[in-house]
């Protein structure tokens, strides 16, 4: 059988594309995760699971609201910014929704219509172009299979194999290793915490509470020393009075940080990229869910119009998204330079007062 479209990855970008493609197309979505099984998730996405206002807006534009079992406590209305480099602490109002990331992905996948074939626990191994079609090799339930398709879409995230194969000579975005450790906690933190500390990273670190766990995370460019740097972060937070109990889980993955517009790859012939695979993620905050949803929806719109010249339409319609990433890079220049950050934080612009004895 020849598919019209094979999508690699059932994260927010891949599920959105699959959900929005026209019924006239024969579509297959594959994901290496066991996204349908009842058993505990073997390959969870390492993520902070905060839905930013941009992501909330896209969901609203899709006509979607969140089911309640996707939401986790506590819901936080502020960020506590700890600038260790400049010894400054400030609070800013934020409007995130705290979600269970795996349940969020499973919910998005559950919205994909029946006409789309979905294969989970199925690993994309590679592809080669044949006459007019693309032959995709997958490892499905212990067996290697070959699948034919007209169009291949890489929605396979930061470590995208589709991208590495299709754009092997192009420059990737800066690749950070991100580590998250889940610590048992008995305290409730009403803030999302962001930490700026050059000794740990030139990007940032965070603490996010999910029910009885405090997730400590960091995105670190120097991956050779990432574990040591992460430990420095945890010790510094402990010295500041944060109580982290037993560590019950450690996660790690790459996180992309596109610094130049040519680090975003959209399509090459009949291979297209969406979401973080294409480099769509904020270089200032690492917020990626809104970009994944948007790029998935834009590509669906372009393909639904026609598969012919879909790439040029995709390029044109993602212009705003790419400009947005460019602007976030300018913001990064101010945020991640300790002198400009000091000036901005000292002025207290947009900051708010918080009662002193709050944890
Ligand atoms: C530590 C961390 C914290 C983050 N926190 C936030 C946050 O709080 N809020 C936010 O908005 N963004 C956050 N992000 C970014 C966000 O997680 C991503 O940008 C977003 O998930 C991208 O969606 P996607 O669909 O493009 O890719 P992904 O969500 O990465 O999905 C890719 C899918 O492809 C599958 N896949 C990969 N390779 C293969 C293969 N070879 N074969 C088959 N399947 C494959 C994976 O299993 C996965 O399901 C964070 C990222 C990291 C690393």
Q: What is the pLDDT of residue 223?
A: 85
Q: What is the pLDDT of residue 37?
A: 77
> What confidence tier does 44 reach under pLDDT thresholds 50, 70, 90?
confident
Q: What is the pLDDT of residue 169?
A: 85
Element spanning 340, H or E: helix 338-347
For the stretch 158-182, pLDDT in tens is 999 999 999 998 888 899 999 999 9
> Is residue 351 domain-resident?
no
CA distance 263 to 163: 11
> Is residue 106 domain-resident?
yes
> Is residue 355 domain-resident?
no
Q: What is the CA radius of gyration of the chain?
A: 21
For the stretch 189-207, pLDDT in tens is 889 999 999 999 999 999 9
> What confidence tier does 138 reach under pLDDT thresholds 50, 70, 90?
very high
Q: What is the pLDDT of residue 122?
A: 95
**Ligand 1 centroid – CA 42 distance (Å):** 15
Separation of CA 265 from chain center:
16
Q: What is the pLDDT of residue 176?
A: 96
Block residue for tokens 């499973």:
106
Domain that holds residue 182: 2-346
For residue 38, pLDDT beyond 80 = no
Q: Are 268 and 167 in contact (CB under 8 A)?
A: yes
**Ligand 1 centroid – CA 280 distance (Å):** 11
> Is residue 359 domain-resident?
no
Block residue for tokens 């994901």:
31
Mean pLDDT of 324-341: 96
Q: Are 166 and 19 in contact (CB under 8 A)?
A: no
Q: Name the DSSP class of 38.
A: S
Whether 52 lines ligand 1, by a CB cut-off of 6 Å, is yes
CA distance 290 to 308: 27
Nearest CA to ligand 1 atom 30: 157
Mean pLDDT of 186-191: 87
**Ligand 1 centroid – CA 266 distance (Å):** 17
For residue 23, pLDDT beyond 60 = yes
Total domains in the chain come to 1
For the stretch 245-254, pLDDT in tens is 999 999 999 9
For residue 45, pLDDT beyond 80 = yes
**Ligand 1 centroid – CA 349 distance (Å):** 33
> What confidence tier does 235 reach under pLDDT thresholds 50, 70, 90?
very high
Whether 48 lines ligand 1, by a CB cut-off of 6 Å, is yes
Q: What is the pLDDT of residue 41?
A: 55
**294: CATH:** 3.50.50.60
> Is residue 352 domain-resident?
no
Better-scored residue on pLDDT, 356 or 135: 135
Mean pLDDT of 74-81: 95
Pairing of strands 97-98, 50-51: antiparallel
CA distance 336 to 17: 34
The percent of residues above 70 in pLDDT, for the chain, comes to 97
**Ligand 1 centroid – CA 122 distance (Å):** 16
Q: What is the pLDDT of residue 359?
A: 53
Whether 162 lines ligand 1, by a CB cut-off of 6 Å, is no
For residue 40, pLDDT beyond 60 = no
Q: Are 153 and 15 in contact (CB under 8 A)?
A: no
Continuous H helices in 62-134:
101-110
Whether 50 lines ligand 1, by a CB cut-off of 6 Å, is yes
Nearest CA to ligand 1 atom 15: 288
Q: What is the pLDDT of residue 300?
A: 98
Q: What is the pLDDT of residue 131?
A: 85
CA distance 155 to 35: 15
* Residue partners of 142: CB distance under 8 A and separation at least 6: none
Q: What is the pLDDT of residue 214?
A: 96
> Is residue 358 domain-resident?
no
> Is residue 354 domain-resident?
no
Nearest-atom index, ligand 1, CA of 16 = 25
CA distance 100 to 49: 6
For residue 42, pLDDT beyond 70 = no
Nearest CA to ligand 1 atom 4: 47
Mean pLDDT score of the chain: 94
Q: What is the pLDDT of residue 39?
A: 63
Whether 281 lines ligand 1, by a CB cut-off of 6 Å, is yes
For residue 293, pLDDT beyond 90 = yes
Nearest-atom index, ligand 1, CA of 49 = 8
> Is residue 101 domain-resident?
yes
* Residue partners of 73: CB distance under 8 A and separation at least 6: 98, 209, 211
Mean pLDDT of 259-267: 94
Nearest-atom index, ligand 1, CA of 288 = 19
Q: What is the pLDDT of residue 187?
A: 85
> What confidence tier does 107 reach under pLDDT thresholds 50, 70, 90?
very high
Q: What is the pLDDT of residue 35?
A: 87
**Ligand 1 centroid – CA 90 distance (Å):** 30
CA distance 302 to 317: 8
């Amino acid at each position: 059988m020849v598919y019209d479209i094979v999508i690699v990855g059932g994260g927010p970008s891949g599920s959105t594309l699959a959900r929005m493609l026209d019924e006239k197309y024969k579509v297959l979505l594959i994901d290496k995760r066991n996204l349908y099984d009842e058993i505990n998730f073997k390959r969870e996405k390492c993520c902070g699971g905060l839905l930013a206002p941009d992501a909330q807006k896209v969901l609203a534009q899709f006509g979607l609201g969140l089911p309640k079992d996707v939401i986790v406590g506590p819901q936080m209305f502020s960020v506590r910014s700890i600038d260790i480099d400049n010894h400054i602490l400030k609070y800013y109002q934020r409007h995130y929704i705290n979600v269970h990331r795996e349940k969020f992905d499973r919910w998005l996948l559950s919205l994909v219509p029946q006409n789309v074939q979905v294969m989970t626990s199925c690993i994309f191994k590679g592809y080669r172009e044949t006459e007019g079609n693309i032959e995709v090799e997958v490892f499905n339930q212990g067996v290697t299979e070959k699948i034919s398709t007209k169009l291949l879409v890489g929605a396979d995230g930061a470590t995208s194999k589709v991208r590495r194969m299709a754009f092997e000579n192009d420059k990737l975005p800066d690749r950070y290793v991100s580590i998250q450790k889940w610590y048992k906690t008995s305290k409730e933190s009403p803030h999302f915490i962001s930490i700026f500390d050059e000794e740990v990273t030139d990007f940032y670190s965070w603490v996010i509470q999910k029910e009885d766990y405090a997730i400590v995370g960091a995105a670190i460019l120097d991956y050779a020393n990432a574990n040591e740097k992460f430990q420095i972060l945890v010790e510094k937070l402990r010295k500041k009075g944060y109580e982290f109990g037993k560590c019950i889980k450690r996660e790690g993955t790459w996180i992309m940080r596109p610094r130049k517009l040519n680090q975003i790859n959209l399509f090459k012939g009949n291979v297209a990229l969406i979401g973080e695979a294409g480099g769509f993620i904020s270089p200032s905050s690492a917020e990626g869910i809104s970009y994944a949803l948007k790029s998935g929806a834009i590509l669906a719109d372009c393909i639904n119009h026609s598969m012919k010249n879909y790439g040029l339409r995709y390029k044109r319609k993602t212009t705003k998204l790419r400009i947005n990433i460019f602007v976030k890079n300018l913001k990064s220049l101010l945020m991640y330079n300790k002198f400009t950050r000091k000036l901005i934080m000292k002025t207290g612009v947009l900051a708010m007062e918080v009662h002193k004895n709050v944890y």
